């Protein structure tokens, strides 16, 4: 691309991210980018720009050879995949903010780029305005990483902050997260941990050189959190944060999981409040570093898209250095143990989870809560049953790594 002329952008979607980008480009007049065409789905929907700014046929935009690059910012992941895949088949430069699309289709998206020479960047897909993908991909390209974990969903973190800091109710806090434009069209994705899972899959590919299918990642959320759980956390001054984490065990196996977790003041993630995200990247030599910033909202996410637009227009593409370097991508550590709190009305879940070391069993009316130890494999297997039962599960600390090591040491000692 000629860097001296105005580059024309074809934009798909004009929701929170699309409008955020459009607004930034309208304010930053010196930037050499212009949104030339905006493609949306529903002609009847009221929009903040006059109707003549929109087109409704995405094929027209895909076929428009005058466009220099495409930005995909629609919420339907499968429709987004159809658009992005077609654009990559045409060898185009594409920026997306759609985490579900990337998480579910990364191997195909890599193959399309390889075959047809197009480029896909997706910084906005993980942790909103925090430049975490390029940090992990470029800065940490040669240092082995031990763990990447953090708060990857702004809406659920906003809700938890409202509950813990302002004593608000869950429903009121969720409504606010929706009104502020943080939540997904289907907020279940936010509160149930699915959105965090998608982001964790993407981070894992860059951090550990392994593309994991979202189906292989156990995810649990705050959708069934109640006052009893909040009180339990407060007893020792902790709060609850939704933690997405991937780490390598001493045997080189991977532990990816999304689990609400008790977090106390000594934890790096304790200070991450409201719609902010926080990602701790733990290098084998550099140690842990916290990256904190706004994880949701039109402007922070639009700014991440803008950064990709600049990079892609200069010819940047992800090298996927760890993916290419890794001959044997790590297997999942299905035997890895985590210490959890479970509250439910269904005692069968204790069996389904294979919970051991049961402690502190409490009963209240129809429900019970219990502390115990569970393996990653059982969490993966029992996750649908737990969701169906409306049960709430959380880790006793966000430090899954050392909790696991401590447990296995105890086991070795005992045998
Ligand atoms: N709904 C997402 C969140 C938006 O709350 O984090 C940013 O991906």
- The strand order across the sheet containing 69-72 reads 54-55, 33-39, 7-12, 69-72, 93-96, 119-121
Gap from CA of 183 to ligand 1 centroid (Å)? 6
Residue boundaries of the structural domains of the chain: 7-121, 133-297+330-414
Task: Write down the CATH number for the domain with range 133-297+330-414.
Answer: 3.30.360.10
User: Ligand 1: which residue has its CA nearest to atom 4?
Assistant: 296
CA 367 / ligand 1 centre spacing (Å)? 32
Rounded to 5°, the CA angle 95-130-195 comes to 70
Number of residues that make up the chain:
415
Per DSSP (E only), the strands in 143-286 are 145-151, 218-219, 239-248, 254-263, 276-283
Catalytic residue list contains 388: no
Answer yes or no: is the C-beta of 123 below 6 A from any ligand 1 atom.
no
Angle among Cα 365, 367, 371 to the nearest 5 degrees reads: 130
* Domain boundaries 7-121, CATH class: alpha beta
Q: Would you write out the chain's pLDDT as a tens digit for each of its 415 residues?
A: 555 679 999 999 999 999 999 999 999 999 999 999 999 999 999 999 999 999 999 999 999 999 999 999 999 999 999 999 999 999 999 999 999 999 999 999 999 999 999 999 999 999 999 999 999 999 999 999 999 999 999 999 999 999 999 999 999 999 999 999 999 999 999 999 999 999 999 999 999 999 999 999 999 999 999 999 999 999 999 999 999 999 999 999 999 999 999 999 999 999 999 999 999 999 999 999 999 999 999 999 999 999 999 999 999 999 999 998 867 778 999 999 999 999 999 999 999 999 999 999 999 889 999 999 999 999 999 999 999 999 999 999 999 887 644 443 443 333 2
Cβ atoms of 9 and 93 within 8 Å: the answer is no
Same fold, 7-121 and 133-297+330-414: no
């Amino acid at each position: 691309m000629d860097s001296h002329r105005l580059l024309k952008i074809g934009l798909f979607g004009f929701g929170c991210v699309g409008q955020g980008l459009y607004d930034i480009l309208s304010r930053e007049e010196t930037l050499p980018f212009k949104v030339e065409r905006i493609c949306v789905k529903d002609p009847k929907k009221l929009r903040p720009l006059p109707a003549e700014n929109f087109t409704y046929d995405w094929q027209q935009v895909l076929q428009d050879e005058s466009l220099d690059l495409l930005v995909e910012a629609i919420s339907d992941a499968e429709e987004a995949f159809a658009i992005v895949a077609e654009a990559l088949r045409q060898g185009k430069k594409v920026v997306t903010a759609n985490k579900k699309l990337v998480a579910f289709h990364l191997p195909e998206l890599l193959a399309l780029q390889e075959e047809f020479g197009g480029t896909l960047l997706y910084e906005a897909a993980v942790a909103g305005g925090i430049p975490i993908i390029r940090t992990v991909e470029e800065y940490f390209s040669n240092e082995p990483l031990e763990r990447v974990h953090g708060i990857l969903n702004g809406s659920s973190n906003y809700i938890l902050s409202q509950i813990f800091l302002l004593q608000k109710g869950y429903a009121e806090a969720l409504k606010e997260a929706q009104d502020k434009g943080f939540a997904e069209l289907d907020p279940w994705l936010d509160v149930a941990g699915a959105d965090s899972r998608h982001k964790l899959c993407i981070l894992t590919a860059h951090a550990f050189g392994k593309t994991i299918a979202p189906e292989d990642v156990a995810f649990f959320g705050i959708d069934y959190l109640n006052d009893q759980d909040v009180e339990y956390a407060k007893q020792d001054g902790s709060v609850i944060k939704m933690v997405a984490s991937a780490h390598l065990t001493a045997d080189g196996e991977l532990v990816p999981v999304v689990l609400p977790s008790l977090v106390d003041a000594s934890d790096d993630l304790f200070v991450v409040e409201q719609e902010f995200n926080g990602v701790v990247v733990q290098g084998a030599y550099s140690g842990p570093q916290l990256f904190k910033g706004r994880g949701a909202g039109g402007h922070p996410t639009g700014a991440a898209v803008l950064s990709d637009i600049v990079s892609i227009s200069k010819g940047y593409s992800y090298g996927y250095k760890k993916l290419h370097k890794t001959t044997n991508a790590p297997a999942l550590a299905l035997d890895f143990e985590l210490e959890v709190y479970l509250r439910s009305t269904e005692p069968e879940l204790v069996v389904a989870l294979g919970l051991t070391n049961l402690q502190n069993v409490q009963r209240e009316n129809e429900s019970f809560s219990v502390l115990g130890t569970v393996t990653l494999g059982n969490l993966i297997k029992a996750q649908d049953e737990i969701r169906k039962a409306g049960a709430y599960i959380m880790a006793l600390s966000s430090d899954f790594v050392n909790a696991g090591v401590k447990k296995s040491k105890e086991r070795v000692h005992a045998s």
